[in-house]
Structure 1
Amino acid sequence: MNLKHASYIMAILEAGSITAAAKKLLISQPSLSQTVKAVEDELGLPIFDRRAKQLTLTYAGQRYVESMREIMTAERNFLSEIAEMKNDHRATLRIGISAQRSISLLPQILPSFLARYPLVTVELKELPSVRLEELLSKGGCDVAFITTASKQNDLEYRLLENEQIVLMASKQTAISRRIGQGTEIELSEAREENFVNLTPGHSVRTIQNHLAQLCQFEPRVLLELFNMEAAKLVTAQLNAVMVCPYGYIQGDTRVETLTKCYPLRCHGFERHFYFCYRKKLRLSSYMRDLFDIARSKCQYHTM
């Protein structure tokens, strides 16, 4: 089995096509197609289902990818252990993080981390948390900072921070005139308000959907935004409400003076902030230190 060939197959899966993967890998499409053929000839079975409209793996292809991921993880673990024996910290660390978290967390942790490990090259993968879990499972990054409400069996989750989910309401809204700041409420208290929603894929949006279903109402959506900062600022200026982690509001005078916040009864639908990695991955000393630095910067945000 050729590990370089395996990395090419995984690049094709991640890119969605041979053409896109070839561009990303800076090799020709015919050359990459020959790599696929070489792997299939070695296995004696096709790894891609060429009848499907979208690029999909055959069962043999699935088993090949699963097995090669385990082999590549074992190789990385071994090389990491040898490097530590030699006190050699030259490495590339692929870190997954959401765009929102990168704004608040990376300036706090990267200066200390890179000062301690100047030979470690950091590659950032900025994606929503839901996609980061998938990327980790597929070996697309080494570790990730993920805010999530659920867990996958093949990942390890080390808690960095618990979060309190609140309803942030502009002071122009009826609910802000009716209910005092800091009162715990059901989401249904805002059934007559205009909602500024985060786009699907945000774990906060997932929680909001669950709570709305539990309360048996459909929120009246004024706007739907991907960026949480933009959503906060828009909500504060309009006659609207938004479901948001309190940690993203606390200390932000741009919105605190214009809004009231109400802790939501989440009925078990919670989200937490984790340092995540594949269960079979051996954490190197610099990965462990990254976790320790991040944990020292995180705190529990509550009203």
Structure 2
Amino acid sequence: MNLKHASYIMAILEAGSITAAAKKLLISQPSLSQTVKAVEDELGLPIFDRHAKRLTLTYAGQRYVESMREIMTAERNLLSEIAEMKNDHRATLRIGISAQRSISLLPQILPAFLARYPLVTVELKELPSVRLEELLSKGGCDVAFITTASKQNDLEYRLLENEQIVLMASKQTAISRRIGQGTEIELSEAREENFVNLTSGHSVRTIQNHLAQLCQFEPRVLLELFNMEAAKLVTAQLNAVMVCPYGYIQGDTRVETLTKCYPLRCHGFERHFYFCYRKKLRLSSYMRDLFDIARSKCQYHTM
């Protein structure tokens, strides 16, 4: 089995087509097609279902990719262990993180980390948390900072920070005049308000959807935004409310003076901030230190 061939097959799977993968890999399409043929000839079975619009794996292809990922992880673990035996920390560390978290966390942790490990090259993968879990499982990054609920899958979730989910309401809203700051509420208390929503895919939006369904109402959406920072600032200026982690509000005078916050009864629909990696990955010393540095900078934000 050829590890380079395997990495090309995974690139095709991620890109969805041989043409797109060839452009990303900076190689010719015929050359990449020959790689696929070589792997299929070696296995004696097709690895891609070519009848679908987007290339998908056959069962043989799934088993090939699963096995090759394990082999690649084993190789990375061995090289990491040998590098530590030689006290050699030259490496590339692929870190996944959401764009919102990168703004607040990276300036706090990267200076200390890179001062300790100047020979480690950091590559960032900025994606929403839900996509980071998928990327991590597929070996697209080494570690990731993910805001989610811990799951039973092939990932390890090491807790960095618990989060409190609140309803942030502009002082122009009826709920802010009716209920005092800091009062714990059901989301249904805001059923008559205008909502500024985060787009689908945000874990906060997922929690909001669950709570609205539980409370049996459909939020009246004024605006939907991808960027939490923009959504927060817009909500503060409008006659609107927003579901948001309290940690993103605390200390931000741009919104604190214009809004009131209410802890939400989440009924088990919670999210927390984790340092994640594949269970079979051996954490190198610099990965373990990255976790320790991040944990020292995180805290529980609560009202």
Give TM-score, length-normalised by structure 2: 0.99
Structure 1 residue 152: deviation in Å?
Answer: 4.3
Q: Which has the larger displacement, 181-190 or 144-153? A: 144-153
Structure 1 residue 52: deviation in Å?
Answer: 1.3
Q: Secondary structure at the match of 1:139?
A: coil
- Distance change (3 Å), C-alpha of 1:152 and 1:28: farther
Give the conservation status (yes or no) of the 8 Å contact 2:130–2:202: yes
Structure 1 residue 230: deviation in Å?
Answer: 0.2
Structure 1 residue 239: deviation in Å?
Answer: 0.2
Instruction: Give the distance between the partners of 1:2 and 1:128, measured in 2 at CA.
Output: 32
Instruction: Give the distance between the partners of 2:189 and 2:24, measured in 1 at CA.
Output: 49
Instruction: Give the distance between the partners of 1:122 and 1:14, measured in 2 at CA.
Output: 22
Q: Secondary structure at the match of 2:76?
A: helix
Instruction: Give the distance between the partners of 1:151 and 1:204, measured in 2 at CA.
Output: 17
Q: Secondary structure at the match of 2:169?
A: strand
Instruction: Give the distance between the partners of 1:220 and 1:151, measured in 2 at CA.
Output: 31
Instruction: Give the distance between the partners of 1:149 and 1:213, measured in 2 at CA.
Output: 19
Instruction: Give the distance between the partners of 1:296 and 1:78, measured in 2 at CA.
Output: 29
Structure 1 residue 196: deviation in Å?
Answer: 0.2
Structure 1 residue 138: deviation in Å?
Answer: 0.4
Q: Secondary structure at the match of 1:82?
A: helix
Residue 214 (structure 2) aligns with: 214
Residue 203 (structure 1) aligns with: 203
Structure 1 residue 47: deviation in Å?
Answer: 0.2
Q: Secondary structure at the match of 1:280?
A: coil
Runs of 4+ in 1 over 4 A off after TM superposition: none
Structure 1 residue 208: deviation in Å?
Answer: 0.2
Structure 1 residue 14: deviation in Å?
Answer: 1.2
Structure 1 residue 245: deviation in Å?
Answer: 0.1
Structure 1 residue 149: deviation in Å?
Answer: 2.4
Per-residue deviation, residues 58-101 of structure 1 (Å, max 9, x unmatched):
00000000000000000000000000000000000000000000
Per-residue deviation, residues 269-288 of structure 1 (Å, max 9, x unmatched):
00000000000000000000
Give the conservation status (yes or no) of the 8 Å contact 2:150–2:157: no
Q: Which has the larger displacement, 50-59 or 198-207? A: 50-59
Instruction: Give the distance between the partners of 1:153 and 1:9, measured in 2 at CA.
Output: 23
Instruction: Give the distance between the partners of 2:198 and 2:302, measured in 1 at CA.
Output: 21
Per-residue deviation, residues 113-134 of structure 1 (Å, max 9, x unmatched):
0000000000000000000000
Structure 1 residue 202: deviation in Å?
Answer: 0.4
Instruction: Give the distance between the partners of 1:87 and 1:149, measured in 2 at CA.
Output: 36
Instruction: Give the distance between the partners of 1:181 and 1:195, measured in 2 at CA.
Output: 18
Per-residue deviation, residues 133-153 of structure 1 (Å, max 9, x unmatched):
000000000000000024241
Instruction: Give the distance between the partners of 2:16 and 2:204, measured in 1 at CA.
Output: 28
Instruction: Give the distance between the partners of 2:237 and 2:277, measured in 1 at CA.
Output: 39
Per-residue deviation, residues 227-263 of structure 1 (Å, max 9, x unmatched):
0000000000000000000000000000000000000
Instruction: Give the distance between the partners of 2:161 and 2:176, measured in 1 at CA.
Output: 28
Instruction: Give the distance between the partners of 2:91 and 2:258, measured in 1 at CA.
Output: 46
Instruction: Give the distance between the partners of 2:191 and 2:85, measured in 1 at CA.
Output: 60
Instruction: Give the distance between the partners of 1:17 and 1:285, measured in 2 at CA.
Output: 37
Gaps of 5+ in 2: none
Q: Secondary structure at the match of 2:56?
A: coil
Q: Which has the larger displacement, 286-295 or 145-154? A: 145-154
**Percent of aligned pairs with the same residue?**
98
Instruction: Give the distance between the partners of 2:150 and 2:19, measured in 1 at CA.
Output: 34
Give the conservation status (yes or no) of the 8 Å contact 2:133–2:146: yes
Q: Which has the larger displacement, 162-171 or 143-152? A: 143-152
Q: Secondary structure at the match of 1:7?
A: helix
Instruction: Give the distance between the partners of 2:20 and 2:115, measured in 1 at CA.
Output: 36
Q: Secondary structure at the match of 1:172?
A: coil
Per-residue deviation, residues 2-29 of structure 1 (Å, max 9, x unmatched):
0000000001111111111111111111
Instruction: Give the distance between the partners of 1:179 and 1:156, measured in 2 at CA.
Output: 41
Residue 140 (structure 1) aligns with: 140
Q: Which has the larger displacement, 162-171 or 23-32? A: 23-32
Residue 164 (structure 2) aligns with: 164
Residue 64 (structure 1) aligns with: 64
Q: CA RMSD in A?
A: 0.6
Q: Secondary structure at the match of 1:300?
A: coil
